[in-house]
Chain A
Amino acid sequence: MRVLLSWLQEYVDITDPPEVLAEQLPMLGLGVETWERGDGDVIFDLEIASNRPDLLSLIGIARELAAWRRRQVRLPVDTLEETDPPCHERGAVEIVDPVLCPRYVAHVISDVTVGPSPPEIASRLEAAGIRPINNVVDATNYAMLEWGHPLHAFDLETLADHRIVVRPAAPGEALVTLDGIQRSLDPAMLLIADVRRPVALAGIMGGAETEIHPFTRTVLLEAASFAPWSVRRTSRRLGLRTEASARFERGIDPEGVLRAARRCARLIARAAGGCVLRGAIDAYPAPAPRPTITLRLARIPRVLGVRVPSDDVVAILSRLGVETSRDGEILRAIPPVGRRDLEREEDVIEEVARHFGYDRIPEAMPVEAMHQGRRPPRLEAESAARDALIRSGLTEAMTVSLIHPRLLERLDLDADDPWRQAVPLANPLTAEHTHLRPCLLPGVLEAARVNVNRRRQAVHLFEMGTIFRASAGGVEEQRALAVAMRGRWLIGDWNASDDGQEVLFYHLKGVLEVLVGELRAGSLSVEAGGPRWLHPARAGRLFIDGTALGVAGELHPAVAERFELPGRTYVAELDLDELLRRAVLQPRFAGLPRFPAVRRDVAVVAPRSLPHAAVEAALRESVGPLLESVELFDVYMGPPLEEGMRNLAYTLTLRAPDRTLTGEEVEEIIRRVHATLPERLPVTIRT
């Protein structure tokens, strides 16, 4: 709402400099978007709350300032010199549905001379951002800015039978609005019609055929009240927002209709000559009662935490136009016309608080039992997981949860891959954000691409976030973890050869092992194989205690190319819920070993295709309970080994909890390993 200070001063004596007003208006709840000086005047651009249609008017704003400065508001003159014949002899109004249109008032002004408005009217409208049209239309806009009540002027002679019918549109009806656009109407839209055709969109815009033109002689002036939701729906349906619809959407008090109509009729008569015919047509089938609100004075400190003297309460309310009567500790308040937002006790308390001053309410601390708040275990576990990844050297990324399926297509997903089931938005805004992400990986790869594009080759990122899947009951939300690692591991490694320092699949795997280990979530195992977007020979499915956890591997070169990621990129996507469910965040001390350990090395020659995991499992089984750990320390291929074979060397750490192992016991175990391993697996022991 653009407000010209000199115009506002017609209704209230305000002498404060604009700087002071710009400070004070927000403290009253009127946001100041901008303000500027110009032509010896000041224009404020105010942001008005959606529950205050009355503040989309100069009088409404004047009333707030008057209450602040303890002054009186000067209301505009609306007395009329009326002439015969009576209004109802020249026109008629019929309301078909009083729920959609509680009240419709019409004045008829005859013998007008349409022409340009006087300059002072035109310049005020321009300052308020409204284009002057002619003296009749300008009067309606001028009155709207004064009272906040939209008005419309018809050329009475263009209305068939001089009769206004307020009714829903019939199927297939159309109307050319003032802006020259043909609008297709549907029965959910409320119309102003004459007996033959639509003549205006109720509360939004008039029709072109019935508008005021240079030769109009008789004006039918409309002032009405419409159901806010009906105006809002129609306005949104048509994508047509106007000064009128903005006000009607917020709710126009039917009680204020007549007053605005009289003021406007007076303005038209003064600007365009003409006679206001006697009386007004006032269709008001069910007058709305003015509510009386009961305010318990004791409730004020209960809500605000401060005592406002009851005399101050009464004074504040009366300056705002609220009529009050006191009955002991109870105040009965009748809000002024136009303040339909005041419905119950709390609304009135807010008025008191605003004008008492929010800044005068003290700061207090709630008197409640003191305790430290906590996070639920899931969030604690997620935080621990995040820390583990960060300590492993990964940086956290955050990517937008809205994606385009194009991003998923880069992964070349299988036809039955659940990631294809991305949930679409019903009303996307941009072509880029059309679906909810079903996985995190594409976003993290996009982030990697951004960095590589900017010549940062080493990228080690992870994201923990919500992913979305369609489910029977709607949309299922899950937490997921995605990791992408590529390029060098160490920074500033000036003597190292390039390829020797690039991360490997095993760096990624190490990060995941550390993660699972830090959460004490169970035992992580990997089986070769994975989805199509992973390198077919460098992919693994992850399991935790036998339950599927996710996949990890090298990004398939074709996929990497589509993400513009040259070289090798290692990625993983995990079901974070599954992992965090198993997290143990409060470990118990396991005790330090009291007896020494014995270390023995065992080397086996095995076919290259035999996984290390199988050898390790066989070692564990054949050593038995005295095995503390198995550590692989060498993998060798080449001469003198046969083609297709490799040497795997392990250190076994043996320990008994209750005694020192004897040399004999250890030898017995090693003999057993040497004897049983080649029986279980196609391996030979190197000695």
Chain B
Amino acid sequence: MSDDLDRIVHDTLAALRQVQSPEALASLRREILGRRGRLAGLMKTLPSLDASRRAALGARLNEARTRLEAAIAAREQELAAVASVRRLDAEWIDVTLPGRRGPLGRRHILRRTLDEVERIFMGLGFEVVEGPEVETEEFNFERLNMPRDHPARDTQDTFYLTDDLLLRTQSTAVDVRVMIGRTPPMRFVTSGRCYRRDTVDATHMPVFHQVDGFMVGEGITFADLKGVLATFAREMFGAGTRTRFQPSYFPFTEPSAELAVTFADRWLELGGCGMFHPRVLEMAGIDPERYTAFAFGLGVDRPAMVRYGIPDIRLFWENDLRMLDQF
């Protein structure tokens, strides 16, 4: 009988090594350990044995069962591991195929530039204001010390809607609207579209953007203007940026200057600035004896061209996504 038991154990261990599937393993288990399996068959012979042999065989039978159960469980784990590897292998994907991208929107590069400029001036304490694009002669010219027939009007060739209504040629008109009725100190910045009768070419559009700002107070000087604009330039173009102020002429500022900054080892012209002409303050109801004010008007489109290496101003307005997507 013990030979039988040894053979069962031996055969089973051998068979286990051959088993490759969970199903085969289950049937082997049934064949050996099942209620009608071979071990059970041996169990049934126990009662016919005498007491001493019965006890010995019983103990060996239990020992064999434990050993076989452990072997089957181990094999089961092995098979499961193999199956899992195989199943995952079957789920192979080509990780080099292109990714799927959701649509990603962006701000227009000019909008981004305007936001950037506004944010810097807000950091310097300037309040943002808005003004109309359709202006009157009075605000666009007269209150800026450019009466009718002033030769400076020639440099701002104007689109008229009626005799009195026009498209603003600069956003400085907003400054005057803001000053009227307010008491200094004040500092404001405004940005938006301006219009001039320029023939369209690589550097001209009849529509362009400007950022205008001004500051009125009891002790505001040209040195403050230089300090504020130099700070702006360093924020916008980098800490090493230098500024250049060259004498210029605008009817609404005295003294007047052109502002340029260093960019890529060249001078980049940003716009005009100066101390508000006393007459402009007077016309806005501000006492020029008590208060002084600086003002500046910065171009946006052309400096952005230089900053980003955009060769043609028309590209801003074409909205070719191959261009917009680059910013």
Contact = CB atoms under 8 A, between A and B. Distances in A.
Contacts of A398: 108, 110-111, 316-317, 319
Interface in A417-431: 423-430
Nearest to B316: A398
Interface in A344-401: 344-347, 349-350, 353-354, 358-359, 361-368, 370-376, 378-379, 383, 386, 389-401
Contact of B125 (A349, A353, A370): A370
Given A51-B251, A426-B160, A427-B160, A366 B220 contact: yes
B106 A395 contact: yes
Interface in B216-256: 217, 219-224, 226-228, 230-231, 244-249, 251, 254-256
A3 B216 CA distance: 40
B132 A450 contact: no
Contact of B228 (A366, A492, A493): A366
A371 B126 CA distance: 9
Interface in A421-475: 423-430, 433, 436, 447, 450-451, 454, 456, 458-461, 466, 468, 474-475
A378 B130 contact: yes
A35 interface: no
Interface residues of A, number: 94
A489 B193 contact: no
Nearest to B324: A395
Contacts of A332: none
B222 A361 contact: yes
B105 A389 contact: yes
Contact of B128 (A305, A365, A373): A373
Given A233-B149, A427-B160, A477-B132, A400 B222 contact: no
B159 A428 contact: yes
B40 interface: no
A86 B167 CA distance: 57
Contact of B104 (A347, A367, A393): A393
A429 B245 CA distance: 34
A555 B230 CA distance: 50
Nearest to A426: B160
B255 A396 contact: no
Contacts of B69: none
Nearest to A435: B161
B42 interface: no
A326 to B, nearest CB: 22
A304 interface: yes
Nearest to A466: B133
Given A398-B319, A429-B206, A475-B161, A364 B227 contact: yes
Classify chain B's interface size.
35 or more
B181 interface: no
B257 interface: yes
Contacts of B87: none
Interface string B98-115: 111111111110110001
Given A361-B226, A362-B226, A490-B101, A402 B206 contact: yes
Given A346-B277, A373-B122, A430-B200, A366 B215 contact: yes
Contact of A396 (B108, B124, B187): B108
Nearest to B152: A50
Contact of A346 (B195, B245, B254): B254
Interface string A31-56: 10000000000000000011110000
A450 B152 CA distance: 38
A29 interface: yes
Contacts of A233: 149
Contacts of B312: none
Contacts of A347: 254
B162 A390 contact: no
B101 A492 contact: yes
Contacts of B219: 302, 366-367
Interface in A284-334: 301-306
B207 interface: yes
B154 to A, nearest CB: 7
A564 B159 CA distance: 31
B227 A365 contact: yes
A522 interface: no
B151 A249 contact: yes
A374 B223 contact: no
A26 interface: yes
A425 B132 CA distance: 16
Nearest to A53: B151
B121 A425 contact: no
Contact of B325 (A395, A430, A493, A494): A395
Given A400-B206, A466-B193, A490-B100, A305 B122 contact: no
A510 to B, nearest CB: 12
B320 interface: yes
A474 B134 contact: yes
A491 interface: yes
B275 A346 contact: yes
Given A366-B215, A366-B220, A378-B130, A354 B247 contact: yes
A47 to B, nearest CB: 10
Query: Majority SS of interface residues in chain B?
Result: mixed
Contacts of B151: 50-51, 228, 232, 249-250
A229 interface: yes
A400 B207 contact: yes
B161 A365 contact: no
B130 to A, nearest CB: 7
Contact of A425 (B106, B107, B154, B160): B160
Contacts of A494: 97-98
Contact of A364 (B221, B245, B292): B221
Contacts of B160: 425-427
A6 to B, nearest CB: 26
B180 to A, nearest CB: 17
A44 B159 CA distance: 33
Interface string B79-108: 000000000000000000111111111111
Given A390-B107, A460-B105, A363 B223 contact: yes
Contacts of B205: 400
B11 interface: no
A28 interface: yes
Given A305-B224, A368-B187, A358 B317 contact: no
A426 B161 contact: yes
Q: Which of B165, B206, B231 has the most CB of A within 10 A?
A: B206
B213 to A, nearest CB: 10
Nearest to B115: A383
Contacts of B159: 402, 425-429
A454 B249 contact: no
B257 A358 contact: yes
B307 interface: no
Residue among B115, B193, B249 with the highest chain A CB neighbour number at 10 A:
B249
25 contacts: A26-B246, A228-B149, A250-B151, A303-B255, A303-B292, A373-B124, A373-B126, A374-B128, A378-B130, A383-B115, A386-B107, A393-B102, A395-B106, A396-B105, A397-B319, A426-B159, A426-B162, A427-B159, A428-B159, A429-B206, A436-B161, A450-B320, A474-B134, A491-B100, A491-B101
Interface of A: 26-29, 31, 49-52, 228-229, 232-233, 249-250, 301-306, 344-347, 349-350, 353-354, 358-359, 361-368, 370-376, 378-379, 383, 386, 389-402, 423-430, 433, 436, 447, 450-451, 454, 456, 458-461, 466, 468, 474-475, 477, 489-494
Interface of B: 97-108, 110-111, 115, 118, 121-130, 132-134, 148-149, 151-152, 154-155, 159-162, 165, 167, 185, 187, 189, 193, 195, 197-200, 205-207, 215, 217, 219-224, 226-228, 230-231, 244-249, 251, 254-257, 275, 277-278, 292, 316-322, 324-325
Given A395-B108, A436-B134, 12 more contacts: A52-B249, A305-B224, A346-B254, A358-B247, A364-B221, A370-B125, A374-B122, A395-B325, A396-B108, A402-B206, A477-B134, A490-B103
Q: Which 3 A-B pairs have the closest CB atoms?
A: A305-B223, A305-B221, A393-B103
